[in-house]
Structure 1
Amino acid sequence: MTGADRPTVPPVRLPADAELARDALASPLLSRAARLARWAGEGVRVGAGGELPAERLEEAAALLGLDADEDGPAHVARAWRLAVGAGLVDVAEDGAENSAEDGTAGTASAGAGLGRLTRGGPADVLEIWRAGLETALADAAVPDLGEPLGTLDRDPEAAADFLDDVLGNLYLLTAGDPAVTAGAMVPLPVLAASMVVPEGMAHPTDAVLKDVSVVMVELDERFRILAPTGVIAYRPVDTALVEEVAAGASDAGDPASDPAEENGEQSGGEDGEEEVARYGMVRLTPLGLYAVRRRMTEAGVAAPLVGDLAEESAEALLTALPGHGEEAARAEIELWLARRALPDAARELLAAARGDDGDAPRRRLACQQALSLVGVEAEPALREVLDDGHLGGLARVWLSERGFRDVPAPSEEMVFWLTVDTLAAQLAAEGGGDGSAELRDLVRGLVDQHSGFFDKAWRVDHPATGEVLEAMSRVHPDRKAAKDARRAAYRARSRG
């Protein structure tokens, strides 16, 4: 698989390994597993599968302060499986001739991993934590749900793949939403809908909404198991709602009646937020982002980190920035600029923004974004390109916004060229279609502000002029203006 063929997800910013390792050590499941490993010491008798016998399970629950918790035995069993799976505990099986009368079949003792965990560096801690996470993911993939609700596959391999997809979607929601990146939580119905509602279905059917509800309940059980690993921060579903879905509720109390509403779009104030939270809220922690990203890269997905471009060329930076969210792009630019002297950095950016290829408009838009973070030291570099047909317009904007004097007014030709270039970049960012509300407002504003806009726009010597005018004909709400845009697009293409 080549780099161009690899699926790509938006970049994320991760803390240093030392901070991630501290989070891993503080996670409830790993800290319990470490305590159990120390408790095992020189030997604890275990069953044929390495599990703790009932009496030792009770002893371990008391050790962890879980003896009064009705779910205490399950928590202990998971922590023990993690300890064994991560190498914190070694299990030596008895030979057939040494089988014990008490039903035990081996001896567990503290493993080499415990020493690495307590005395090793951040890389050791994270490696052990990730090994334990695999055990927890296997537990969470096919939890004991009693009678299945009928939506998710009970085949272990298929269930594990489904959980991977869920975490992948949560990763995308985190990387693509500045609010989630900043620590906001995703309503569980929204995540469930992302797994069930077919792409492009604006109004899910009752059957699809019921499936969303069922998936939401089943994810609730999985996330309760995963939360102690530190991968996610999770607020569980209100148990009353779980009972409603399990009973087949499909009325107004259905948790998935409208995933958009569950995202808070129609709820306001603390009461509305609290009501949304009843349906479950989840987010990946920084440790979770680290883990899911590692799993993605191992599966062949390109999952970049903010800062990966700091040593790359200006062209590589400008090419990649359109795929970044706003916050990630700003951080990437700042890291890139920090390694270069101004105004040389500005000159590199401007040089990389030139071109008539299909990606050039987006590079120029990214260049404007990068230059917005550059100080007045870049003035000489911007003045050098005032007469450049590709860059003169953005240079004038930059200089004028910073209050510099003696900035020559742009010619009408330059204004129209910059307009077409900006619209071409916007169209490329949106990937075609009918256009966003932002694009429609931009098009309408341009036409309203410039008398005879289309009579002049078709003459613009830009490779994307015909494509831009055709798009304007699709998104402008006025029928006459749309017709004028189509005629102008035809004339632009005929001129070439």
Structure 2
Amino acid sequence: MSAEPHPTLPPVRLPSDAELARDALAAPLFARAVRLARWAGPDTRVGVGGELAAVQLPEAAAVLGLDPADEEGPVLASQAWRVAVDTGLVDVTEPDDGGDRGDGGDGVGGAEEESGTAVPGEDLALVTGGAPGDVLDLWLAALDTVLADVAVPDLDDLVDALDAGGEIDFDRLDWNPGREADFLDGVLANLYLLSVSEHGASDGPVPLPVLAASMVVPEDMRDPTDAVLEQVSDAMMRLDDQFRQLEPIGLVEFRPVDEALMAEADDEELAAGSVAGAVDDEDVSRYGMVRLTPLGLYGIRARMLEAGVAAPAVGELADKGADALLDAVSGYPEGAAQAEIEQWLAGREVPVAVAELLAAARGADEGGPLRRLRCQQALAPAGPEAEPAVRAVLDDPELGGLARVWLAERGVADVPAPDGAMVFWLTVDTIAAQLAADGDTEELPLLMQSLTAHHAGFFDQVWRVEHPATVSVLEAMGRMHPDRKAAKEARKAAFKARSRRA
């Protein structure tokens, strides 16, 4: 999978390897490959590329419970055999003379063509006797085979591109293997991002036109032109065919484009409908819907990691220190951060874990406020056993306010009241953390209003606060505070703070 420079993706939540391995073994195409590997033996005949001899395809189809007389049966058997060979589930010995293995030994030209042989491969034992990771490695190899097949033009396109001599005219075909592979990688990467983003598709399916448009329509184009819509339509039809091929390996759940819809609409209408949001939920599904399965999320993440893309998974920080935890979850959406924190806390002694978190939350750097916000989030479920570690930082200028809030929320007695400097410092730190976490949200102005309403003469004093984010917080309040008078005071205070720093 090719990798474009990209910031760290949100973390994905994956089932255990054991659950994923069960899903892999249940994927129809992989299951067929395993069954054919068990069937392979001394009488199995293969050709130069390791493909199953044509005369054996009906038997292979029958082994898979498919109808040998149905055209689809031998095709599915041939595909499963290729997966078995490419993954090492089957070991093949190719014919020495490179003869045609498709004649079935009928003796064309008066002599029987030689065939190679096939037997179960050593890796077949891993299916039942290996660890879940071994099964997943075999499935990833199968996925690579399927993705390579999906990027190849379909048979109709190949036939149309034949020249007078029966050779494929690649110029007429307009097929570039690298370009096709990059397109499919980009589609799957976009689908992955929509799946893991907290405000994206989540567990829901993605309409096919939306996915196609994400690859075709320029980000700054508000109203796609007819030419662009035609490209979206072409991409939709391409993806419709590709996702049909990817579903049997367990990568996606896919609802194809409604054939009746394709007959009713021309290319422009087909692409414009859901891209423009002009159809209701029921109609959207007719344009095709796709979602990555948990196994699909695992597979695409594995390919991203191999390509050098930072694609974290919830739980992989469980054995790291508190500093690594807070640094990482500072860039996570809130829900994912909470899930990661919970896994980090599991199995740790609460007093020790709380002390580590508080120590890691310190710092006057730009990321400090958000680390402290995530620390506060981590401390929220802690019980009375955390109190000694929290009390230990009451006099800390950076953590004292956080500690008082935690103790007060639990109704702890004899909590010393904070002085004015600590109150203002905590206010700046809190707003700075929210700005870093969510940016300019609708809720933030209400938070600003609530914090400033409790302190008379707030803007007369806050500009003196020795916090690295004082200026940026006041500038944000000048933009966002819902009270116009307070916003004006915030801008004046920001000017004073900048002058003081200068």
| Category of TM-score, reference length = shorter chain | 0.7 to 0.9
Change (3 A) 1:97 1:394: closer
Are positions 1:329 and 2:337 aligned together? yes
Asked whether the equivalents of residues 48 and 98 of structure 2 are also in contact (C-alpha less than 8 Å), the reply is: no
Separation of aligned partners in 1, 2:142 and 2:320: 36
Change (3 A) 1:154 1:408: farther
Offset of residue 231 of structure 1: 1.7
Q: TM-score scaled by structure 1?
A: 0.84
Aligned to 2:133: 123
Aligned partner of 2:464: which letter? Answer: R
Separation of aligned partners in 2, 1:240 and 1:248: 14
Change (3 A) 1:484 1:40: same
Comparing 186-195 and 459-468, the one that deviates more:
186-195
Aligned to 1:241: 261
Q: 1:328-367 deviations in whole A, cap 9, x for unaligned?
A: 3223212222232222221221121122111111111111
Separation of aligned partners in 2, 1:145 and 1:394: 66
Asked whether the equivalents of residues 197 and 204 of structure 1 are also in contact (C-alpha less than 8 Å), the reply is: yes
Asked whether the equivalents of residues 213 and 256 of structure 1 are also in contact (C-alpha less than 8 Å), the reply is: no
Match for residue 144 of structure 2 among 122, 126, 134: 134
Change (3 A) 1:331 1:39: same
Change (3 A) 1:298 1:46: same
Asked whether the equivalents of residues 445 and 480 of structure 2 are also in contact (C-alpha less than 8 Å), the reply is: yes
Which runs of 5 or more structure 1 residues have no equivalent in the other structure?
A: none
* 1:21-420 alignment runs, 5 A limit: 21-67=21-67, 71-96=72-97, 101-102=107-108, 106-112=115-121, 113-144=123-154, 146=156, 154-177=175-198, 183-199=203-219, 204=224, 207-243=227-263, 247-250=266-269, 254-258=273-277, 272=281, 274-420=282-428
Offset of residue 26 of structure 1: 1.1
Separation of aligned partners in 2, 1:280 and 1:252: 11
Asked whether the equivalents of residues 241 and 255 of structure 1 are also in contact (C-alpha less than 8 Å), the reply is: no
Task: Classify the secondary structure of the residue corresponding to 1:254.
Answer: helix
Separation of aligned partners in 1, 2:211 and 2:229: 13
Match for residue 472 of structure 2 among 467, 482, 490: 467
Asked whether the equivalents of residues 89 and 108 of structure 1 are also in contact (C-alpha less than 8 Å), the reply is: no
Which runs of 5 or more structure 2 residues have no equivalent in the other structure?
A: 159-172
Offset of residue 382 of structure 1: 2.0
Separation of aligned partners in 2, 1:170 and 1:134: 18
Change (3 A) 1:331 1:232: same
Answer with 1 or 2: which has the greater Rg.
2
RMSD, matched Cα: 3.2
Comparing 288-297 and 222-231, the one that deviates more:
288-297
Task: Classify the secondary structure of the residue corresponding to 1:373.
Answer: coil
Separation of aligned partners in 1, 2:117 and 2:435: 62
Q: 1:418-471 deviations in whole A, cap 9, x for unaligned?
A: 2211221222234x6xx2333344345555665654333322221111111112
Are positions 1:456 and 2:435 aligned together? no
Query: What percent identity do the matched residue pairs reach?
Result: 60
Q: 1:190-222 deviations in whole A, cap 9, x for unaligned?
A: 333333343455665555455434323322211
Aligned to 2:164: none
Comparing 327-336 and 343-352, the one that deviates more:
327-336
Separation of aligned partners in 2, 1:456 and 1:205: 55
Separation of aligned partners in 1, 2:464 and 2:235: 55
Comparing 93-102 and 303-312, the one that deviates more:
93-102
Q: TM-score scaled by structure 2?
A: 0.83
Separation of aligned partners in 1, 2:347 and 2:128: 37
Aligned partner of 1:353: which letter? Answer: A
Counting matched residue pairs gives: 473
Task: Classify the secondary structure of the residue corresponding to 2:118.
Answer: strand
Task: Classify the secondary structure of the residue corresponding to 1:249.
Answer: helix
Change (3 A) 1:326 1:480: closer
